[in-house]
Amino acid sequence: MTAIQAWPFVIAAYGIAIGGTLVLVVASMVAMRRAEARADKLDEHR
């Protein structure tokens, strides 16, 4: 296995791991902010 053949596999694996992690973190953060903003808004209307 030469370095030229190996790097596309390494890049693909890192792309999936980093991309998957970013999607997970951003989606969780957006959902949390939305849910907490909704709850805070209801508190204000009390």
Own/partner long-range contacts of 3-11 (Cβ < 8 Å, ≥24 apart): none
Q: Please state the closest distance from residue 41 (CB atom) to another protein, in A.
A: 9
Q: Please state the closest distance from residue 11 (CB atom) to another protein, in A.
A: 10
Query: Quick one: DSSP state of residue 5?
Result: H
Q: Please state the closest distance from residue 20 (CB atom) to another protein, in A.
A: 5
Residues that bind another protein (CB under 8 A): 1-3, 5-7, 9-10, 12-14, 16-18, 20-21, 24-25, 28-29, 31-32, 35-36, 38-39, 42
Residue 12 tokens read as: 């693909």
Residue 2 tokens read as: 């030469």
